[in-house]
């Protein structure tokens, strides 16, 4: 073999060994991040991995002399630089709240539970057509700001005569953060109860969407909270308890997931620090209260594009090429760690069925044709809550039923208003409680 070719092969072999060493050290670092739960912004894992790497480099260079003894440290330096990027914040570590909205004032209420929540009020546009019972809106998330798309829908309800109040749940949007161990589905229910009392207007109607519908469903199962509810609209609920979350089932008609263009805009997950933190949290390898990134830093870093195909999954496949912007970068707010923590408390909670069967609050269930929710999450509410008087299967829409497309907002508002005012339903009552097996069998 020619000398040049031999040297090339030797160089390639050394380079491969060096790359293997760098990747091995990076893997050791990640394992230590998991074992230490990211303590000290990952520095505990980084220093330990660096010490292990230096010890290994010294051992490998023990038989060499001169500058050759430093060669084993080259992969160590490369790996240290690579993994150090996971330990250095690139956004502020104190919470940066979204700026105020131009079309509605933001109030901040301190609740008796200790939560400080951002509150929005849309009075009825025509006082003469005012519905006498206030309407409280619980948005999805679970710990997320109210999107501009939702604000527009709330304005539409106000134009139809509803006195609408909405608040962003603790940790979401412009609401204050809680210590991570304080986030829980039970805390969300208590906040709703205290909010209604703070409102001081007697019984209220509540519209809960997605995870907000889970809060509402659990409130219906609590007699002390349900006593303050006049009517309840449960829109596209997630799993209401641990047993429900473990149900295997199917979703609605095909959504736009995998069909819509990738969301545009910056992604925090393109940066090593947040890709590692959010990725390991999602895999359950880091706790929501991990020391790798603080709650405020994670909230500041997370962008709408980080939701990836989750947004597309809220729309029908036919709408894949025209998904509307749900929010702006300035208003968007999502807390991945707090949301995960709330979801965990739902998954770890006992069955709600027995308590829900005693519910007496008139309720309506809204189900989307192209729902991304497991159908059995929704039909379980219908089966277990005898006070569900009406079910409205919303054709032509995905999980986000009021989306500004094709008059969908007006149709959703008509369904909500008809129920809250005791008027005939604009759509058939479908599925019925007795028709659940057929509904699931037909994979509607």
Per-residue pLDDT tens digits for 139-184: 999 999 999 999 999 999 999 999 999 999 999 999 999 999 999 9
Query: What average pLDDT does the structure give for the chain?
Result: 92
Both tokens of residue 73? Answer: 């440290």
Question: What does pTM read for this prediction?
Answer: 0.92
Do residues 316 and 397 touch, judged by C-beta distance below 8 A?
yes
Residue-level pLDDT at 22: 80
Separation of first and last alpha carbons in the chain: 69
Residue-level pLDDT at 235: 98
- Measured CA angle at 46 (ends 87, 77), to 5 deg: 100
CATH architecture of 107-260+309-441: 3-Layer(aba) Sandwich (3.40)
The helix, strand and coil proportions of the chain, stated in percent and rounded to the nearest 5, come to 45, 15, 40
**77 vs 377, higher pLDDT:** 377
Q: Where is average pLDDT lowest: 46-60, 186-200, 331-345, 401-415? A: 46-60
Q: Is the pLDDT of residue 8 over 60?
A: no
Distance CA 78, CA 222 (A): 57
Question: Most distant CA pair in the chain: distance in Å?
Answer: 96
Distance of CA 291 to the CA centre of its chain: 20
Distance CA 117, CA 134 (A): 18
């Amino acid at each position: 073999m020619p000398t040049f070719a031999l040297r090339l092969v030797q160089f390639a072999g050394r380079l491969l060994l060096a790359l293997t060493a760098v990747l091995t050290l990076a893997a050791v670092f990640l394992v230590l991040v998991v074992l230490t739960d990211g303590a000290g912004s990952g520095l505990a894992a980084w220093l330990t991995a660096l010490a292990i790497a230096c010890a290994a480099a010294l051992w490998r260079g023990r038989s060499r002399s001169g500058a050759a003894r430093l060669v084993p440290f080259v992969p160590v330096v490369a790996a240290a630089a690579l993994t150090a990027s996971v330990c250095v914040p690139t956004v502020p570590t104190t919470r940066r709240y979204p700026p105020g909205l131009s079309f509605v004032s933001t109030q901040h209420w301190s609740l008796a539970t200790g939560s400080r929540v951002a509150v929005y009020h849309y009075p009825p546009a025509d006082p003469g057509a005012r519905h006498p019972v206030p309407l409280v809106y619980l948005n999805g998330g679970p710990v997320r700001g109210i999107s501009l798309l939702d604000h527009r829908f709330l304005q539409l309800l106000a134009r139809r005569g509803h006195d609408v109040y909405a608040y962003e749940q603790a940790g979401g949007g412009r609401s204050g953060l809680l210590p991570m161990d304080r986030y829980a589905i039970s805390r969300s229910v208590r906040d709703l109860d205290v909010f209604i009392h703070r409102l001081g207007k007697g019984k209220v109607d509540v519209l809960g969407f997605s995870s907000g519908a889970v809060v509402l469903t659990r409130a219906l199962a609590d007699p002390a909270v349900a006593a303050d509810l006049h009517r309840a609209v449960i829109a596209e609920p997630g799993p209401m308890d641990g047993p429900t979350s473990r149900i295997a089932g199917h979703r609605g008609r095909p959504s736009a997931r995998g069909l819509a263009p990738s969301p545009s805009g910056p992604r925090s997950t393109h940066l090593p620090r947040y890709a590692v933190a959010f990725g390991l949290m999602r895999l359950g390898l880091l706790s929501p209260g991990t020391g790798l990134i603080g709650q405020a830093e994670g909230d500041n870093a997370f962008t709408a594009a980080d939701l990836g195909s989750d947004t597309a999954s809220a729309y029908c496949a036919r709408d894949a090429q025209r998904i509307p912007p749900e929010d702006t970068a300035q208003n968007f707010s999502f807390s991945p760690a707090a949301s995960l923590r709330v979801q965990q408390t739902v998954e770890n909670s006992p069955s709600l069925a027995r308590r829900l069967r005693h519910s007496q609050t008139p309720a309506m269930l809204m189900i989307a044709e192209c729902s991304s929710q497991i159908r059995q999450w929704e039909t379980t509410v219908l089966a277990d809550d005898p006070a569900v008087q009406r079910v409205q299967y919303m054709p032509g829409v995905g999980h986000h039923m009021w989306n500004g497309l094709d008059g969908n907002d007006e149709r959703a508002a008509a369904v909500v208003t008809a129920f809250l005012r005791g008027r005939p339903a604009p759509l058939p009552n479908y599925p019925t409680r007795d028709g659940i097996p057929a509904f699931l069998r037909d994979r509607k």
